[in-house]
Structure 1
């Protein structure tokens, strides 16, 4: 395999750009391919949301070295940027510092081995990867010595349906269902929710963020109502660890959401898994599998997590856990059904490897359907991967990662039984944009 071929990184988000910086520090040729128009395109779609992490945890060390050479000044460690501020003050300058090693408007539509589909063994490892790319000018094929897929999961939100499939009628009602935290500072978006009733489905930090925003809107527009729809049998630890959370902003969010519920701005519905979406008189009615119907609402915001889009990787030999769709060695460390309280275990190239040597999933996509991820985790992942690809075995094996705990212990998978909250459990970290 020709070593002059670059390592191709898919996605110019925080982890993809960090991967490029880590690889560049080793002097390896690297090419970042991003289908969006600029760095952090997905982050820009939740640019109005403020992160839980402080700036001290949002800058990759190798990226900082690369930026320092351009005269870049690091933001104060204690600040909590919005997604847009993260782009403007870090991601966009980092992409600029990478120069022509980052290409935009380049959508990866497939990855394979040159001249080999996934079935062929003969000479497979000797062939470079082929990365099929679609641009405004047409299609092209890029040869790569290795591939790091850090494209994330933002483009594949989980459906509203409680069984993992879209609820009956969900697609037909798409005009009234959003899968993103609404930006109520946008006049057009505010008009969609002000003075109306909105159902929020989900229990993660994105759902709490939306609930707090709608509660604030209700104070300004009294007819505004929010209905919090939970699949679990009770609210349980959904409000988070409060003062025990080592990410103070994350703990404060849960406390504000609790206060909004106690103030009567939010109606809570528990034990409800949506099976059908019906339109009635211009409004939406959610119905569960037992035929239980909620009162009509005007809008629905489904914040039920994300899943990886693996379709461009159909010709790559992936080793994925059957449940989480995460690498098989990583899955036991992050499974929200079983893992114990505490920080995420340090992991690197070994846990992220696949039967296809030289191919890695990194960042949020590496977690499959697991809802726990922080930027620090992604930075450690790509540091180890870059060291491995550069032949620095000592650095690749050295894993050092300490994540802030949530102060929250959840159940061990028996989420319909309130008493399960005291039986083992897992520590939860933010989903979606809450990094």
Structure 2
């Protein structure tokens, strides 16, 4: 493992002076980073690919988190907002993703110290050092970061003294194939394969009503979508639901002992009951290898033939739609010129990976961590939030808030505060689901609360 420089900055190199910290992403963690930097008087710029704050959160805005408001608001952001007269929602109430954006992210982004520093419609495509690819070492830490971005007006380049990558993983789902690759034939049926957490009881209802849907995945994203589809089937006869998993059971969903969050604990029991009642068909030990398009008769809608390995042979399943709820992975392509140390398995920062191993930890058993665990061989470059967890599904917002608090302290030269990481979490995590009865609201995905 590379020996890292963990000494806080005292005097910036002349080429770095006057440059901002670049924050990639204006979601909850990116905006919390902005609030913490603003609180310490450090200049920054937030680069958001969407046209508004929380753009990815709004994609699952129908989801009700099963973590209450008291775990969803960054402490520094809370203090800055309170100074403006902002009234925090009731601590124990459970917001939807849309309510999180409306009641917290938008007011936070509107603070004068933050609003003037957000650029929307700016997609970061590459991060490097000015005049240096990843192979050059001499003077590297004194060279500004160079971010190439795509905007409506074309391509441009920006420089920064440090980079905090809070771009998340929602837009980069895992592959459907059990091998980690796309199944053969995916391009010809891509229009029939959807992202995790569709709004099947709301804006996407017509795409699922009276159709056969196969949900692939063994986590909370899959389970919550199954609950919504079962609710849809109650009012739309002919709606059929199949759940495909590659293992013998979905233990991460269906077992939640001693959970301090009742809404989370109930999700597995509800799915199990629907399977037992025959309202959800469970196909286990099924490894998808190929997808094929089946054209409808007399101009009818096309469907998908799913071929998978099961036991010693191949089996097929027919579906009108597939929901890919197999989890998410970080987009590392834009970081090819950055020197990174990532875990070989979960693609998280190497020092963080043992703390978040999903084979050992749930959301609530992850130890507090900050700049030291997130520091990379590329000085002053940090991956935070859901992206810092790589492919591990155990992230929660409160953990991300502590990450950016620690990093902001370190960038400000406050080593003592940066190293003093503290966080108290409920017993098995702060994740997302919906505590409401089936049919009264949509339900959520893996740990994101």
Please confirm whether the aligned pair reaches a TM-score higher than 0.5, indicating the same fold: yes
Aligned match of 2:400: 378
Cα distance per residue 1:369-391 (max 9 Å; x no partner): 11110001100100110111111
Give the conservation status (yes or no) of the 8 Å contact 1:108–1:312.
yes
Q: How does 1:241-320 map to 2 (within 5 A)?
A: 241=256, 244-281=258-295, 282-289=302-309, 291-320=313-342
Residue 165 in 1 paired to residue 185 in 2?
no
Pair 432,11 (structure 1): closer, same or farther in 2 beyond 3 Å: farther
The answer on whether the counterparts of 2:307 and 2:317 sit within 8 Å (CA) in structure 1 is no
Residue 236 (structure 2) aligns with: 221
**SS at the partner of 1:131?**
strand
Q: Could you say what secondary structure the match of 1:162 adopts?
A: coil
**Residues in 2 aligned to 1:68 and 1:237: alpha-carbon distance in whole angstroms:** 38
CA shift digits 1:77-103 (9 cap, x unpaired): 111111111111111111111111211
What per-residue deviation string (whole Å, max 9, x for no partner) do you get for residues 318-366 of structure 1? 1111111111111111122355896101111011010000000000000
TM-score under structure 2 normalisation? 0.88
* 1:222 Cα deviation after fit: 2.6
Which residue does 1:206 correspond to in 2?
A: 221
Partner of 1:239: 254
**2:410 aligns to what?**
388
**Cα distance change of structure 1 residues 297 and 138 upon mapping to structure 2, 3 Å threshold:** closer
| SS of alignment partner, residue 192 of structure 1 | helix
Measured in 1, the distance between the counterparts of 2:109 and 2:39 equals: 15
**SS in structure 1 of the partner of residue 403 of structure 2:** helix
1:152–1:363 contact (8 Å) kept in structure 2: yes
Contact 1:162–1:273, Cα closer than 8 Å, also in 2: yes
Greater RCO between the two (CA within 8 Å, min separation 6)?
2
The gaps in structure 2 that reach 5 residues or longer are: 1-12, 296-301, 430-443
Specify the SS of the correspondent of 2:218.
coil
RMSD of aligned residue pairs (Cα, Å): 1.8
Q: How many residues align?
A: 411
Identify unmatched segments of 5+ residues in structure 1. Answer: 408-429
Task: Name the residue aligned to 1:422.
Answer: none
1:96 aligns with 2:110: yes
**1:405 Cα shift?**
2.5
Question: Distance in 2 between the 1:100 and 1:245 partners?
Answer: 42
| Partner SS, residue 315 of structure 2 | coil
> Does the CA-based 8 Å contact 1:240-1:406 persist in structure 2?
no
Deviates more, 1:97-106 or 1:13-22: 97-106
Runs of 4+ residues deviating >6 angstroms: none
TM-score, length of structure 1 as denominator length: 0.90
Mark the CA change 1:307 to 1:185 in structure 2 (over 3 Å): closer, same or farther. same
**Aligned: 1:146 with 2:162:** yes
